Amino acid sequence: MNVWFVLLNILVFLVLIGVLFHMQRKNVSFSKRVFAALGLGIVFGLGLQWVYEAGDENVTQSIEWFNIVGTGYIKLLQMIVMPLVFVSILSAFSKLKRSSNLGKISVLIIGLLVGTTAVAAAVGIATTAAFDLEAIQIDQGNAEAARGVQLEERAAALEGQSYPQKILELLPQNPFLDLTGERATSTIAVVIFAAFIGIAYLGVQRKEPEAAEFFKKIVDSIYAVVMRIVTLVLRLTPFGVLAIMARTVALSDFDAIMKLGEFVGASYVALIIMFLIHLILLTLTGLNPVTYVKKVLPVLAFAFTSRSSAGTLPLNIQTQKNKLGVSEGIANFSGSFGLSIGQNGCAGVYPAMLAVMIAPTVGMNPFTPTFIFTLIAIVAISSFGVAGVGGGATFAAILVLSAMDLPVALAGLLISIEPLIDMGRTAVNVSGAMTSGIITSKVTGELDTETYNKEMIEAEA
């Protein structure tokens, strides 16, 4: 390692940080700064790839310093996720315009999330068939074999559980433990716990309105403070995107990507089709899909670079409320539910494609009606409780492949391109959650169409 080379890399990175800070001082819009950071990160990462050899220690040491900004930003977002999920659900109950809408809102959001995940599974199956993808086409190296062993070990820990037991795992036995994010199903457990408190609040509101009003003031105060923390953290988004993108591109194995280019291409075709389905659903509800795309691009760009649906939650909720006209309660519900229920990319497209690719290796025909309908049903059921942070797609794949009696280890064959595919999956997850919030708000008559349709005049994030 050459210390001077590392210092030079860090200096260039700091100059790019300075460029973004200058743009902020000049009041350049938030979305433009995010996309500028995305572009600068890609160029800088490619530059590091071009100057240094693959795996060069100068790059890895430089990335360690870049991670102070990139990983540090992700950690700050993750810090606020559980408090935000908890207080968002409580706030959603206190801000419901009509408490009688609660059941309808919950059913619509969950129905849309799970329904679109089933559609995503069908898209994944069709795309895999169109590209004629099979797991036997991929060479298995040491890294793939090691990943396969890890997946088998993780699957073994889940095998002893029946579906009723897996459903019970979603319930919050110890909500304080779940608030730490200790379990894979902690997010949905926190949602359920907060929902119980919210339902209790509605009951108290009818019988003891004064006590309910006092509780509402406490919740509103906490929510205001949490959202202020969110705002402070989100101001760092362009800097975080720059660091994350530079790291991702600089460490990407382009040789592996070229070898598995067909699998990458097929995955992105399926994800793009799923995103277009979101736009079609919005069109069918009478909303302009172009307006949606323009307003959510910064959110999807961050989801793409961070690979964390949970980390994107603050941006998700704010954009739904402030730019898309979704009522505060529904935005909180859809954003929070979308972290662990029906993720279109991670729990829909990905496990379906893997199952179709792996089935021929054990003599199964993946294109019989029985296999297809069984796979879609299992994908939809398994989409409950998928974590909204890194590893959610792996968890979903293990559940689906185990349920279909397929070898889990073969899912490790795509380890070299996993980060690249995961970026697109996460963006589609977030789009699915936002789409469910917009459509639910429209159907229940709570969508502010004037806000949705109005031209973007961006305030500071």
Specify the pLDDT at position 100: 57
Question: Which CATH architecture fits 3-453?
Answer: Orthogonal Bundle (1.10)
Please compute Rg for the chain using Cα positions: 22
Name 264's Cβ contacts closer than 8 Å, sequence gap at least 6.
257, 417, 420, 421
Using DSSP, state whether 202 is helix, strand or coil: helix
Among 155, 191, 190, 196, residue whose Cα is nearest residue 176: 190
Q: Which burial class, exposed, middle or buried, applies to 2 when counting CB atoms under 10 A from its CB (0-12, 13-18, 19+)?
A: exposed
- Whether this model's pTM surpasses 0.85: no
Q: Say if CB 432 and CB 338 are below 8 A apart.
A: yes
Torsion angles phi and psi, residue 234, rounded to 5: -65, -25
| pLDDT one-digit tens code per residue, 249-306 | 887 766 666 666 788 889 999 999 999 999 999 999 999 999 999 999 889 988 888 7
- Averaged over 36-55, what is the pLDDT? 86
| Short-list 429, 258, 234, 441, CA closest to 349 | 429
pLDDT tens string 387-440: 554 556 777 777 788 888 887 776 666 666 777 888 899 899 999 999 999 999
Structure tokens that stand for 193 in this block:
């716990």
Please say if the pLDDT value at position 45 is more than 70: yes
Cα–Cα distance measured from residue 8 to residue 11, given in angstroms and rounded to the nearest whole number = 5
Which DSSP string do the residues of 81-94 spell out, in sequence order? HHHHHHHHHHHHHH
Q: What is the mean pLDDT of the chain?
A: 83
Residue 356's contacts (CB-CB under 8 Å, 6 or more residues apart) are: 124, 125, 128, 129, 133, 366, 367, 375
- The pLDDT of residue 71 is above 80: yes
- pLDDT band of residue 342 (cuts 50, 70, 90) is confident
Say if residue 445 is exposed, middle or buried (CB neighbours under 10 Å; 0-12, 13-18, 19+): exposed
Is the CB of residue 402 less than 8 Å from the CB of residue 355? Answer: no
Could you report the per-residue pLDDT of 1-26, keeping only the tens digit for each? Answer: 678 888 999 999 999 999 999 998 98
pLDDT tens, residue by residue, 207-234:
898 998 999 999 989 988 988 888 888 8
Q: List the end-to-end C-alpha distance of the chain, in Å, as a whole number.
A: 39
Domain locations in the chain as residue ranges: 3-453
